[in-house]
A = this chain, B = another copy of it.
């Protein structure tokens, strides 16, 4: 069995909950960095830029570079910039997603007759005008991509509608299905993360709190899957799931101890 050199770490529910760092997370990452483990931090949310995530982690006590963060908007922008450089796109999304698309050389337009790609994302400024522009473009044959498949996004006092609202509204009215989704559990996210780590899947482990995204994505792509119990999953949820982790640890604080067992030579 190959030894682990790199870790893909989910953020919300794994490193922090809202604005609260999981106890021991900072020490764990710093200990593993001393063992020269490589890291990428993964988020499905297209609401903040990679710079924002790196700044948040750093301020919480985990010094992080922008290049160590992978989120769904970046994965989508990277993929599109390779598949169709300079393509004309219309995104139902917030400013950080639009900035990411522009940075990748894509051209933003809201003219249905020009739009080559419609991007559905988590958008708290979603409205009928955007819905109709995307609808008209899709009826004319534009491609139909989405950042992330999440139904809801956890917030301080509960949850709010996520990208699934936009995807469903467009699917129901156009009769078309979204063609590619880039966030977890898609292989696109894994591919980008492995590219950043410059490691093959068998030398990497995914650490996360969700069976149907984090653990599923790891298992489907040949990574070691590590479940933490600081997020949405309870121990009793694991048995009935089709997505079985290789290891279960109480929290990220216990990752260094597990790394002693599964990590490569230092």
Contacts and interface: CB of A to CB of B under 8 A. Distances in A.
Interface of A: 123-128, 131-132, 135-136, 139, 151-152, 158-162, 164-173, 175
Contact of A165 (B152, B159, B172): B172
A116 to B, nearest CB: 19
Nearest to A171: B168
A208 B70 CA distance: 54
A151 B169 CA distance: 9
A170 B167 CA distance: 11
Given A124-B128, A125-B128, A127-B128, 16 more contacts: A123-B128, A127-B127, A128-B161, A139-B158, A139-B159, A151-B172, A161-B169, A161-B173, A164-B172, A165-B169, A165-B172, A165-B173, A168-B168, A168-B171, A168-B172, A168-B173
Contacts of A124: 128
Nearest to A126: B128
Identify whether the interface residues of A are mostly helix, strand, loop, or mixed.
helix
A133 to B, nearest CB: 10
Given A127-B126, A128-B124, A165-B131, A173 B152 contact: yes
A108 B172 CA distance: 27
A210 B154 CA distance: 43
Of A132, A135, A136, A161, which is in contact with the most chain B CB atoms at under 10 Å from its CB?
A161
A167 B172 CA distance: 9
A151 B175 contact: yes
Nearest to A162: B173
B151 A132 contact: no
A139 B157 CA distance: 13
A128 B126 CA distance: 5
Contact of A135 (B161, B167, B169, B173): B161
Contacts of A161: 128, 131-132, 135, 169, 173
Contacts of A173: 151-152, 161-162, 164-165, 168
A161 B125 CA distance: 18
